[in-house]
Amino acid sequence: MPARAIQQEFGKELDLNWIIDAKPGAGGAIGTVAAARAAPDGKTLLMAASSHFVTAALGAKPFYDPIKDFTPVANIGNQSYILMVNANLPVKTAADFVRYAKANPGVLNYNSAGVGSSTHLAMAYFAKFAGLEMQHVPYKGTQEAVTDVTGGRGHAVIVPTAGVGVYLQESRLRVIGLTALKRSTLLPHIPTLAESGVPGFVFESWFGLLAPAATPAPVVEKLNAAVNKVIAIKEVRERLHNLGIESGYLNVEGFNKLFLADRELMTRLVKEAGITRD
């Protein structure tokens, strides 16, 4: 997880002993609520991602407001995704895939790691963006979703770049492209979907730190500077890369803009794709 990748150096930079207090449950809501209600002193932070907004976008009523209860602190990095299909499909590029799907409306399906997951949002967005009619098949996790595409029971799946190496060696899968704005330094041989047939399409997830809403601006600025210094360290960058994360360097204002823009995107994606919790 990104928090562990920066934990040691972040603590040294601020002369604090940072403890990672995992609070699983309720789709991450338990840990999020705990962070929102913590003292706004810069000593309790939430490791968040783009999924921070999904619960609210799905129409649920969490015990926190994803915007009002938090102050964006720093971007740690971004993660992109890879579109893969069963190798028996007669497609090799994004353009091929779009043509084939349009010629066979409603015939193709795509798997995901569950309703509202990033893998679901990414593929639903891709289908909407390219004007494709495809059926969604949710699974309990990414591995199960990929396994059924590998076996031919599913046609397509989008997976995070983290841990994708094992799938790249599978002859029954074909890589179509990367969802990022530009090629990944981790996987430079994989073209983006935009350059291989779907111009303008981009889908990435951010990872970053949020503080309770009333955290003073000087404290936020200090934390932001510390994060940017830490992710510039070679060893930290390598740890993040091993997680499939491209290091991100944004000041407080820049991360706040990303944070708010992502809220708009996630809300729009859920609405346009017709995604519901049921």
- What radius of gyration do the chain's Cα atoms show? 19
Most confident segment among 47-56, 115-124, 196-205: 196-205
Distance set, CA 250 to CA 46, 77, 242 (Å): 17, 9, 21
Q: Hunting for tokens 């009333």 — which residue is that?
A: 214
81-178 belongs to which homologous superfamily?
A: Periplasmic binding protein-like II (3.40.190.10)
Task: Find how far residue 125's CA is from the centre of its chain.
Answer: 13
Domain ranges of the chain: 2-79+204-272, 81-178
At residue 237 the predicted structure's pLDDT band, cuts being 50, 70 and 90, is very high
Q: What is the per-residue pLDDT for 89?
A: 97
User: What topology does CATH give the domain 2-79+204-272?
Assistant: D-Maltodextrin-Binding Protein; domain 2 (3.40.190)
Higher pLDDT, 55 or 35: 35
Q: What is the per-residue pLDDT for 223?
A: 97
Of all helices (H) and strands (E), which one includes residue 210?
strand 205-212
Instruction: Please check whether the two domains, 2-79+204-272 and 81-178, share a CATH topology.
Output: yes
Give the mean pLDDT of the chain. Answer: 90
- pTM, 2 dp: 0.84
Tell whether the model's pLDDT for residue 277 goes beyond 70: no
Q: What is the per-residue pLDDT for 180?
A: 92
